[in-house]
Structures are given as structure tokens and as C-alpha cells.
Structure 1
Amino acid sequence: MRKLLRPSDWLFLGLAGFLDVIEEIRDPFHLYSSYYLNLYGFIPTQFRRNNYKQLVWRGLKVNNIEKKVINGKPCLELTEKGKKNIKKRFPLFTLNHKVWDNKWRIVIFDIEEKNKIIRETLRRKLKELGFGQLQKSVWITPHDFLDDFRDYIDEKKLTEFVILIETPTLITDDLISFASKIWNLDKLDTLYWKIYYQLLDLKSKEEKRLTPYGDRNKWLNSLRNQIVSTYFIDPFLPRELLRPDWKGNEVKKLCRELKLFATLSTAQ
């Protein structure tokens, strides 16, 4: 289930460096974004110039971002509070290069039908943390989010209804096939393939200095939004659980090579 992006999410994700296609960034939480440029040189559908200053003002007011001067130019940076908020709202984005500890986290819950709303809220939280549905009320993930989830069920007073398990043992014939089934990776890989071919086409035209697109900026914006939208349904599984030809990795490489999300002038 895709998380709905608020306009402020684009601002904070950009400042955190996450819109740089979750690449092998040196330090994702210290990437600056110019105050006078829209994020990464393009304007997402949910993010328009007319509310940019308002978002910045609001972020400054609640101390999620701060102004700095870099090389004589006013810039924005996430504060410690802003970093914690973005990690909390998008926890999977912090796992891109974390080495898997080869452990599985399993959540089992039993919530009656009369508490259906609570049950559905719990399921949404599990999806947000990258859990896949093993059975109707059994969810599993390789990500180490048990502490976060324990805090959540304590806060929601659900401890008596939920069992948390951490184990290094999962007996299955093929982990990659298992992961593909649980997280529906074939569908996700299809989306990455579609983006991959568009990027190859773009690369070919850029190398030949061709600009056949009727509205190039509009086309690029559409492609960027496709990429970001796909990232928001990606569980970011460890490479041990992905096929060797997983196209998500190729998409990231091509985006970096083409500098698709590089900070550019926004004269559009």
C-alpha cells in the first residue's frame, strides 16, 4: 500500500537526499538543497511553486528545517528533529545499505472483528514497516523494526493481542522465491522494467543529443514521478532475497548516470 505523500514530504525527502534515487550516498542526512530552487530541479505533481515558501516557513517555524549560508547562498538543512521525523515517517528509506543480520521478524496478532478499524490500522503500520503477509494475521520482515513496532503497540495498548518473534531460522526451499511470493516482487519488477526501458531510451537520445519529446520537461517530470512512486511501494529487501537480475538496481544506476534527480535550475 503506497503511503500518501504530503507536499511537505517532498521538501523533507529532498533535503534528506532520498530523492537522489536512494543511491549510495555519502551522507544522506547532510545533503543541502538551495532555498531558491525547487527540489532537485523538477516540480512533483503534489508540489507547486505557489506553496513552496509556505512549506519552508512552516518547516522553519516547527524547527524541522533551518536556514544556512553555503558558499554565500542561502540554503536549507534538516534539523535533528527533522531527521528524526523523516526517519519515523519513511523508515524503509534508512535501510538501503544496511547489512542484513539474517534474522526474521514475525508478528502474529488476534484482533476480533468488532475491532476491525484497529486491526486495519495495525496492518497499515506493518506494511509501512515493510512487513509482508505470510498468512491472514501473520506478517514477516527481514528488517529490524521490532523496537519501533513494540513502541507502536505499547502506545496503542495492543500488547495483549500481538506476539513478536525474532528468529534466524526460516525453513524454505528457496528464499528468493519465498520473498517474491510474499512481497509480490514480480509486479514490482515489472514496474522497474518499464522505467528501465524509458531510461535507456532517454540515455540513447541524450547521447545523440536528440530532443524528440514534444514537452521535454513534462515528460521528464512524469518519469521522475513514476520512479518516486515505485520507490514508495518497494519493501527494500536485502539483496540476498532478490534475483540477481533485479531491475530496481539498474534503475538506480541509470538515474545516477543520467543525473535525473540532480539539482538543476528550474527555469521551466
Structure 2
Amino acid sequence: MIFTIFGDYVRHYGNKIWIGSLIQLMKEFGHNEQAVRVVLSRMMKQGWFETERDGRKSYYYLTKRGVSRITEAASRIFKLEPHNWDGKWRMLMYTIPEDKRQIRDELRKELLWSGFGNFANGCWITPNDLAKEVQLLIEKYEIEDYVDLFISEHQGPKSNHELVAKSWPLEEIEEKYEQFITTYSKQFIIATSAMESGQMSDAQCFVERTNLVHEYRKFLFIDPGLPKELLPDMWSGSHSAHLFAQYYKLLAEPASRFFEHVFEKDNDLSRKDEAYNAEDYPMIIRE
């Protein structure tokens, strides 16, 4: 949830927030001060956050690694339509020794996050151009001696769709999207009615929008973001993206107003990114 708040709000306001403001925001979701401090400490050890002091106040901000991860996530979350495919497959092969098992396990998690599919033991594939992401992973884990990346064309005898079926559980992902649509279609209708009648506060809109993003971003861990040529004809991921966009736009203005109300007390509101306008959803997509 802290990642979600940083990604959807704080990064547009100078990427830094006083811990007191963050605690107040997290209380809206039922999290207490001690829990927030414990999680922040853990995330600092993991390399996601750094802290600085101004008098008696502590401010938290994303590290370079954190900003990179949040930016990558945002570009995928706010993408409405599948992209076109260049017809190429990227194949990553590695032979990481047993004494580096922990690195191997971490690499697998990172590859899944980036959208690679496990085609065979030690062999991962993707139709997307992830050369930059792979290079960053190689440098991060210092595994230059164990990894090879190829760009190739599939010549059969199986079809490209059969390669997809072997490497990603699309039916399970489709099921998750259908659950998302069922849940949030109803909530969208209820929230629209409540907002029109003035029965939904800015704080409630903030909670609802943050929960919406928090739930939708979970698809980043399971949906590889395949190009439209490799997706089923009836793909619920596209419907989910448009539902998410509609609901997000509905909640955007009052949710941002509540965040700014909390943020402006002890933070520099003047550092708000002028390119960011929460009321203008397409602008967020272009980001």
C-alpha cells in the first residue's frame, strides 16, 4: 500500500513525504503508526527508500531503484490497449550455479515481474523488447558470466499461440480479470451514485482510488503484457483496463484533493509536478 501511495501520489509531489503525513494517510486504511514505521524500515533495508531529516522531522523518498520500479509499473498500469508485435521472440538462458541459488530465485521473481514466461528449465521467453530490463538485472545480480540473451524467430512446428500457452497460464489470468470486472463494475456504479448524491467524502474517494490501484497493480505480477497478436480474441484484460480507467477518472479529483489536504500541512506542495493532473486521465497514460 505504501508503494501504491508513492506511485500514485507522492512521486508527483517531489517524491518526498514527511512520515507523519504518510502515517495519517495509512490510518485511512486501518494501519497504525507502529506498523507503518516497521514496514518503512524493512523497505529501506531492501533498497526501496531513503530518509532525510529536517529538524525533528523525518522525510522518506524513493531511491533511484524505487523510482525506476514505480515508473515501470505506472507505464504498464495505465496502458489501455495491447501493443503491436514485431514478430520477434526474446530468449533468456542462464546456468546459475547452485551456490548462487538465492540470486537465481530472486532473478526468477524479477523475470516474472517483467513479463517473461518460463518456457523450459533455465530458459525464459518474451515477445516484448525487454533488453534494457534484462541488462539492469544482469548488472544488479552480477551474473554476466551465466546469462545469454537472444532475439529470434519461431519457425515451428508449433504455433506462436502454443508457445504462449506453454509459457503463461492465460486461462488463470483471464479468470482473475473476470473477478476484477465483476467486483469493480458493481463498485463503479455504487460510487457514481454516491458521488452524484454527495454521499461520498474526499477521504472515501482517496481510499477507494488507492485500493483500486492497489488491486489492479497485482496484475503486473501475473499478466506478461502480451501483444494483441498473441492474445485470445476475447481477452478480459482489455475490458478490465477500460473499467479501471473509467473508475480511476471518476475518483481522481476528490481523491487528490484529500491527499493534498494532508500533504500540504507539513510538505512542500509547490513541488507538485505541473505535468500531472489527476483529473485528466489520458495525461497520466501518456506519462
Which category of TM-score, normalised to the shorter sequence, fits these structures?
0.5 to 0.7
RMSD over aligned CA atoms reads 4.5
1:87 corresponds to: 68
1:10 aligns with 2:4: yes
Count of aligned pairs between the two proteins: 222
2:57 corresponds to: none
Alignment partner of 2:219: what SS? helix
- Contact 1:10 / 1:47 at 8 angstroms: preserved in 2? no
Q: 2:88, 2:218 → 1: CA distance?
A: 28
Q: 1:153 to 1:180 in 2, by over 3 A?
A: same
TM-score by length of 2: 0.58
- Contact 1:106 / 1:165 at 8 angstroms: preserved in 2? yes
- Contact 1:131 / 1:141 at 8 angstroms: preserved in 2? yes
2:239 corresponds to: 250
Q: 2:121, 2:73 → 1: CA distance?
A: 23
In structure 1, list runs of 5 or more residues that go unmatched.
17-28, 63-77, 212-216
Q: 1:175 to 1:169 in 2, by over 3 A?
A: closer
1:138 corresponds to: 123
2:153 corresponds to: 168
Counterpart pick for 2:229 among 211, 233, 240: 240
Higher helix share: 2
Q: 1:87 to 1:170 in 2, by over 3 A?
A: farther
Alpha-carbon displacement from aligned partner over 1:16-38 (angstroms, at most 9, x marks no partner): 8xxxxxxxxxxxx97999x9x98
- Contact 1:92 / 1:129 at 8 angstroms: preserved in 2? no
2:219 corresponds to: 230
Q: 1:157 to 1:87 in 2, by over 3 A?
A: closer
Q: 2:94, 2:30 → 1: CA distance?
A: 36
- Contact 1:172 / 1:178 at 8 angstroms: preserved in 2? no
Q: 1:88 to 1:203 in 2, by over 3 A?
A: closer
TM-score by length of 1: 0.61
Identity of aligned residues (%): 21
